[in-house]
Amino acid sequence: MFSLLGGIFLGWSLGANDASNVFGSAVASRMLKFWTAAVLASLFVLLGALLQGQAGIDTLKGLTQLTLQTAVVSSVAAAITVTIMTILGLPVSTSQSVVGAILGIGILKKQLNVMGLGKVVACWVGTPIGGIMIATIVYQVLAFVYNRLRINLVQSDKLLRLSLIAAGSYGAYSLGANNVANVTAVFVGAGQLSVFSATLIGGLSICLGILTFSRRVMETVGKKLVRLDAFSALVVMLAEAMTVHFYTFVGVPVSTSQAVIGAVLGVGIVKGINTISRKTLTGILIGWVLSPVVASFFALALDFVIHLH
């Protein structure tokens, strides 16, 4: 059980950070109360993890052969990477950190599934692009329907609020289904956990992060993104959820932050406005490259330290 602590910590930090990608824009702009968002996010994350978390776990555990020790090393390396990069204010992807750490171990043991890695990297590239494409399509389809509804201000308000809750819940489901592999896949690979236990423990640790520490992140990170009107926020949340859910079927954990940025860019394209600054984009790009590299380095360094004794 003690060996799982690294994974649980990683799950906690994933929940604390990534819930803002699901409900952040709605909570930061006061469209939704924090506790409504947090409880819904926790429920749906757990549901997603339990029902569809297996595919990602199969992909990650297949990247290299893991022992309990290397599983702990990779999970702790990923957790350290996420923590340090968050403290430094750099955008970090938990999915990329975990894969980077597994990659470090794989290189060290000379046991790397190159085909599996290629699929994962292709999905990383595809995440923001998918976010852009899906947001563009979703915006136009929803706008077509919405503009034809004969509803007054209050009805429109109710409809948008219910849709935001539904889209956020779907986003949380996708987050749980897609990202639970980041938390506990290495322990399945090491034979420490069954798939069901991995999805349950992983899902619960993400929930813990959401319920205990996501408030500040939701309220601050949400405001760092461009302030969106309710309809655009709905499109972003829905596009992010659909993008991440798509990669759940592919079986690759991806970054919800990158899916959100892609979706916000997509909304900007449709509306003909600049939704993301060059500085934010540069930061995302740096995070995209640094997350796996730094995690690989930490995994190698930790393994080296352990083998000194």
| Stretch near another protein under the rule CB under 8 A, chosen from 51-59, 71-79, 142-150, 292-300 | 142-150
Give min distance, CB of 305 to another protein, in A.
50
How many Cα atoms occupy the beta-carbon half-sphere of 152 within 13 Å? 1
Closer residue to another protein in complex, CB, 34/124: 34
| Whole-number Å distance between alpha carbons of 250 and 303 | 31
| Stretch near another protein under the rule CB under 8 A, chosen from 5-13, 25-33, 44-52, 277-285 | 25-33
Are 180 and 18 in contact, with CB atoms under 8 Å apart?
A: no
Residue 272 contacts another protein per CB under 8 A: no
Instruction: Write each residue from 28 to 67 as x if it is in contact with another protein (CB under 8 A), else as -, in one continuous string.
Output: -xxx-x----------------------------------
Burial code (b: 16+ CB inside 10 Å, e: under 16) for 267-283 equals bbebeeeebbeeebeee
Closer residue to another protein in complex, CB, 32/92: 32
Where does residue 135 rank: exposed (0-12), middle (13-18), buried (19+ CB within 10 A)?
Answer: buried
Q: Which of 99, 92, 93 is nearest to 119 (CA)?
A: 99
Closer residue to another protein in complex, CB, 178/275: 275
Where does residue 305 rank: exposed (0-12), middle (13-18), buried (19+ CB within 10 A)?
Answer: exposed
Instruction: Write each residue from 144 to 163 as x if it is in contact with another protein (CB under 8 A), else as -, in one continuous string.
Output: --xx--xxxxxxxxx-xxx-
Closer residue to another protein in complex, CB, 157/196: 157
Alpha helices in 190-255 (DSSP H): 195-224, 230-250
Give min distance, CB of 275 to another protein, in A.
15
State which of positions 209-248 bind another protein (CB under 8 A): 229-231
Give min distance, CB of 150 to another protein, in A.
6
For residue 27 the two structure tokens come to 């909570």
Where does residue 5 rank: exposed (0-12), middle (13-18), buried (19+ CB within 10 A)?
Answer: middle
Residues that bind another protein (CB under 8 A): 29-31, 33, 142-143, 146-147, 150-158, 160-162, 229-231
